[in-house]
Amino acid sequence: MTQRSAIADTICRTIELGVSITDAAIDAEDRTHLFCELLAPGNVCPACGQSGRLRDHVDREVADLPIVGHPTRLHLRVPRYVCSNLECATSIFRANITSIVAPRTQVTRRTTTWIMRRMILDKMSVTAVAASVGLGWNTVNTLALDAARKLAAAPDRLAGVRVLGVDEHKWKHVRGEGDSSFVTVLVDLTPIVDGTGPARLLDVVAGRSKAALKDWLDARDQSFRDRIRVVTMDGFVGYHTATAEALDKARTVMDPFHVVHLAAQKLTLCRQRVQQDTCGHRGRSGDPLFGIRRTLLTRIGLLSDKQATKLQTGLDARDEHVAVSVTHAVYQDLIGAYEHPDKRAGKIAMYKLLKRIRTGLPAGLCELAQLGRSLWARHREILAYFDTGASNGPVEAINGRLEHLRGIALGFRNLGHYILRSLIHSGQLAERLDAL
C-alpha cells in the first residue's frame, strides 16, 4: 500500500503540496477525488505559540490540477488540536494549510497559477479553463482577475522602464458612447530599444485625453518619472502636453507611421481636389488620377515596371496634375528619409524636407502647405526618432492583440475586467506567476 501511494503521489505530484494520497474515487460527474493526509501538520497554536493536543480531523475539499484531462478534487484530512495553554483564548485550532490553499478560497494555490498560465501562455478563454478544472465561469474569472491585480500591482513591475509608448485604443464598439469607449494604452518599449525582448503592456487607463495620461504619470513615484527618457506617441497634442508637464526630462517622439499617414492623407486630398477641378466630378473608372489612387500611396521602390509606367502616365495626363506630382514627390521623400540606412543622413534629409515645405510654397499646393505647417510644428519630435530609434509600432501591435482578445470574449461591457484581461493577455505576467 505504501508503494502504491508513493506512485500515486508521484503521478499526481501531490508530494509538492506536502500531502500523501490515501484513497481515490471517481464520481458520477467524471471528476477524480483524491483523499489525502498532511505529511507534516503543524500543531502550534497561532495565538499563543504553544503546542496542542490532537482532537479530531475535518475534511477540506478543494479543486486541484486536472488529471489526464479530468477535473480533480482533493479531500484534505486536516487535524484539529486543543491548545494546551489554559489561558489562551483559542481553545481549538486547525493545522495551518495556507501553503496549500489560500485563505477563503476553494482551489489550491498551484491551481490558480495553472489557470493564469493557461490564459497567459495558451490564450485560453475563461470558459475553456473553467471546463478543465470543473469550476464555474464566475469562479475562474474571479480567481484570474484577483491574481492579475496582484501581479500587476507588484512594486518592481515598473522597474527598468525607460522608453514609454502611449496610444489610444477603442475597447468597446458601441454607437453613441463617445470618448467613454476609448482608453489610453501604456506600453514598455525598453526591451525593443535595447534588443532584449518584446514590448509589454504596462497599464490601460480610461479615456483618451491629456488628463488621462497626466493623472497616470502623476500617480507613479518620482523615481519612475525621472527614469523615463523617451515617450513615443501619435500626433495627439493632449499626450504631448501631458508628457511635457509630467516628464520634463523625457524626449517625445512622434511615431513615423502617423507622420507618413498624415502625408498620405494630404496626398489623397490633393488628388481628390485636382480630380474635381479637372473633371468636375468624383473619380470614376477611366479617370487618370482615379486609376492611380492606390499606386500613389505605394513606395516607388516597391512598384513593378507596369505600375511605375501607369503612375507616370496618370500624373502626366494633364498639366493640372502638377500639384499631385509635387505632393507625391514630397510623400516619397518623407518615406525615403525614414528608410535611409544611415540614421544621421536620414535625419538631415528629413530636416531639409520639413524646412523646404514649411513656408513659401507656390499657389495651388494648399494641402502640401498644410502638411508643412503641421509637421514643422512637431519637427523636434519627428527628428527625435532618428536619435532614439523608438517608435509606436510595438504599441500598435499590442493594440491588435487586444482587438483579438475582444473577439475571443465576444466583447466586453466592464472596463475594469477588460483592463485586467488585457494585462493577462499582453502584460507578460507569466514570469511573475511564481509570486502567486
Query: For residue range 392-435, what is the model confidence (pLDDT) as tens digits?
Result: 999 999 999 998 888 877 778 888 888 888 998 888 888 777 76
Which helix (H) or strand (E) covers residue 231, if one does? strand 230-233
Q: What is the pLDDT of residue 4?
A: 65
Q: Residues 321-346: what's their mean pLDDT?
A: 96
Q: Residues 43-50: what's their mean pLDDT?
A: 90
Q: Tell me the chain's radius of gyration from C-alpha atoms.
A: 31
Average pLDDT along the chain: 91
Q: What is the pLDDT of residue 153?
A: 80
How would residue 176 be classed by pLDDT, with cut points 50, 70 and 90? Answer: low
45-54, 108-117, 176-185: range with lowest mean pLDDT: 176-185
**What are the tens digits of pLDDT across the range 182-224?**
999 999 999 999 999 999 999 999 999 999 999 999 999 999 9
How would residue 348 be classed by pLDDT, with cut points 50, 70 and 90? Answer: very high
**What are the tens digits of pLDDT across the range 90-144?**
889 999 999 999 888 899 999 999 999 998 888 888 889 999 999 999 999 899 9
Distance in angstroms (rounded) separating the CA atoms of residues 390 and 256 = 9
> Quick check: helix, strand or coil at residue 70?
strand
Q: What percent of the chain has pLDDT over 90?
A: 68
| pTM, 2 dp | 0.78
Q: Residues 307-318: what's their mean pLDDT?
A: 93
How would residue 3 be classed by pLDDT, with cut points 50, 70 and 90? Answer: low
Question: Strands 163-170 and 92-94, how do they pair?
Answer: unpaired
**What are the tens digits of pLDDT across the range 265-307?**
999 999 999 999 999 999 898 899 999 999 999 999 999 999 9
More confident residue, 263 or 155: 263
CATH class of the domain defined by 163-254+411-425 = alpha beta
- Closest C-alpha among 378, 278, 282 to residue 324: 278
Q: What separation in angstroms does the CA of 286 have from each of 92, 127, 283, 298, 352? A: 91, 53, 9, 20, 37
Q: Is the pLDDT of residue 175 over 80?
A: no
How would residue 353 be classed by pLDDT, with cut points 50, 70 and 90? Answer: very high
Q: How far apart are the first and last CA of the chain?
A: 34
Q: What is the pLDDT of residue 435?
A: 66
Q: Residues 17-35: what's their mean pLDDT?
A: 92
Q: Residues 27-38: what's their mean pLDDT?
A: 93
Distance in angstroms (rounded) separating the CA atoms of residues 124 and 132 = 11
How would residue 436 be classed by pLDDT, with cut points 50, 70 and 90? Answer: low
Distance in angstroms (rounded) separating the CA atoms of residues 384 and 369 = 22
Q: Are 137 and 126 in contact (CB under 8 A)?
A: yes
Q: What is the pLDDT of residue 1?
A: 46
Angle at 118 between CA 114 and CA 121, to 5 degrees: 120
Q: What separation in angstroms does the CA of 149 have from each of 123, 228, 355, 384, 423? A: 18, 24, 49, 35, 9
> In sequence order, which residues have a C-beta less than 8 Å from that of residue 68 and are 6 or more positions away?
none
Burial of 86 (0-12, 13-18, 19+ CB in 10 A): exposed
Q: Which residue has the cell 498532511?
A: 38
